[in-house]
Amino acid sequence: MKGTSVNNRFESAPTLNFDTSWTSPPKDLTLGEDEVHVWRAALSVQGLHVQSLLRTLTADERARAERFHFQKDREQFIVARGLLRTILGRYLDVDPRQLRFAYSSYGKPSLAGEFNAEALCFNLSHADGLALYAVTRGRQLGIDIESVRADLADEQVAERFFSIQEVAAFRALPGNMQCLAFFNCWTRKEAYIKARGEGLSLPLDQFDVSLAPGTPAALLRTYGDHREVSRWSLRELALETGSVAALAVEGHGWRLKCYHWPKESHEAAALEA
């Protein structure tokens, strides 16, 4: 996005809502122009509901599900995809089965054809049975969730993927803070590159994010277009111990609302299918 006239909307105002408490969604679900909604959903459901959600998927999505070797992974893909369709269908007031998606050359999904008329943008991520969905209008965004694993959070992995400044910040932390810092850095970088939609053509070591536990999530520096820093907002999302998540959103001045998809709503979504 180039030019100062476009950037005015995205750079002039601070993000307005810093609350990341998770609440049940209202019956009358609306998405304001400057709102970002994040949904959290458990992917573990009964087999009958999995089969019902499977019916919302296209033939291509079903084929993708069949490529998973383990039943647990296959079912979690079906539920994650079925809930994505259900959530987007509620915003658009359409049957989830009717939704069609397009994919960029780097694989980033978007709504296709007539379903893109309302400029609804979304992104999703899941790890260890928990899915996150981010939805907004007219802004690119990316979301990432990771399970904290001490066996992955070591200096050699950081040196391979993080920037020089990030590695230095990682090394400077006490040992008992490094694991969380590692996954703070990882999820913030992943959320940013997913929002950009350029895949790994955007090298992970070519931009810096904050990582120290207790410090706000932020894009600190980019080594290409320096205007990128003011173009994006990063946020940490509060989750249970054992998981870390981050959200990257184009611009500023937006309000965040976090919804928990109730367990009983899995059944409702399945019945709607």
DSSP string, 109-174: EEE-GGGGTT-EEEEEEEETTEEEEEEEESS-EEEEEEE--TTT-SHHHHHHHS-HHHHHHHHHS-
Strand 120-127 with 130-137, pairing? antiparallel
Question: Is 12 inside a domain boundary?
Answer: no
Question: Is 27 inside a domain boundary?
Answer: no
What is the model's pLDDT at position 49?
A: 84
Question: Is 5 inside a domain boundary?
Answer: no
What is the model's pLDDT at position 8?
A: 47
What is the model's pLDDT at position 200?
A: 78
Match 């939609």 to its residue by tokens: 197
- Packed helices 47-54 and 263-272: angle between N→C axes, nearest 10 degrees: 40
What's 43's DSSP letter? -
What is the model's pLDDT at position 172?
A: 98
One domain for residues 172 and 124:
no
One domain for residues 144 and 130:
no
pLDDT band at 257, cuts 50/70/90?
Answer: very high
One domain for residues 249 and 268:
no
Amino acid at 162: F
One domain for residues 100 and 195:
no
What is the model's pLDDT at position 225?
A: 84
What is the model's pLDDT at position 17?
A: 46
What is the model's pLDDT at position 114?
A: 85
What is the model's pLDDT at position 4?
A: 33
Question: Is 115 inside a domain boundary?
Answer: yes
Express the helix, strand and coil content of the chain in percent, nearest 5 each.
40, 25, 35
Residue range 201-206: mean pLDDT, rounded: 91
One domain for residues 124 and 226:
no
- pLDDT at residue 192 greater than cutoff 50: yes
One domain for residues 192 and 119:
no
What is the model's pLDDT at position 153?
A: 94
Residues in the chain: 273
Where in the sequence is the domain holding 114, given as residue range(s)? 43-136+263-273
**Please, what is the average pLDDT of the chain?**
89
What is the model's pLDDT at position 234?
A: 98
Question: Is 104 inside a domain boundary?
Answer: yes
**Structural domains counted in the chain:** 2
One domain for residues 216 and 269:
no
- pLDDT at residue 46 greater than cutoff 80: no
Q: Which residues pair with 269 in a beta bridge?
A: none
- pLDDT at residue 14 greater than cutoff 80: no
Residue 155 vs residues 38, 62, 108, 178: alpha-carbon distances, Å = 32, 39, 30, 9
From CA 107, how far away is CA 109, in angstroms rounded? 6
For 199, other C-beta atoms within 10 Å of its C-beta total 13
One domain for residues 202 and 271:
no
What is the model's pLDDT at position 12?
A: 44
Is residue 77 within 8 Å of residue 69, measured between CB atoms? no
One domain for residues 76 and 176:
no
One domain for residues 162 and 243:
yes
- pLDDT at residue 19 greater than cutoff 60: no
Indicate which CATH number applies to the domain containing 71: 3.90.470.20
One domain for residues 242 and 144:
yes
One domain for residues 208 and 234:
yes
From CA 138, how far away is CA 165, in angstroms rounded? 32
Q: What are the φ/ψ torsions at residue 153 (nearest 5 degrees)?
A: -90, 70
Report pTM: 0.89
Span 222-244, pLDDT tens digits: 998 888 999 999 999 999 889 99
What is the model's pLDDT at position 224?
A: 82
For residue 28, the number of C-alpha atoms closer than 13 Å in the C-beta half-sphere is 1
Question: Is 60 inside a domain boundary?
Answer: yes
Q: For 163-189, give the DSSP string.
A: -HHHHHHHHHS-HHHHHHHHHHHHHHH
Burial class (CB in 10 A: 0-12, 13-18, 19+), 255: middle
What is the model's pLDDT at position 39?
A: 98
What is the model's pLDDT at position 246?
A: 98
Residue range 72-87: mean pLDDT, rounded: 95
Question: Is 4 inside a domain boundary?
Answer: no
Question: Is 57 inside a domain boundary?
Answer: yes
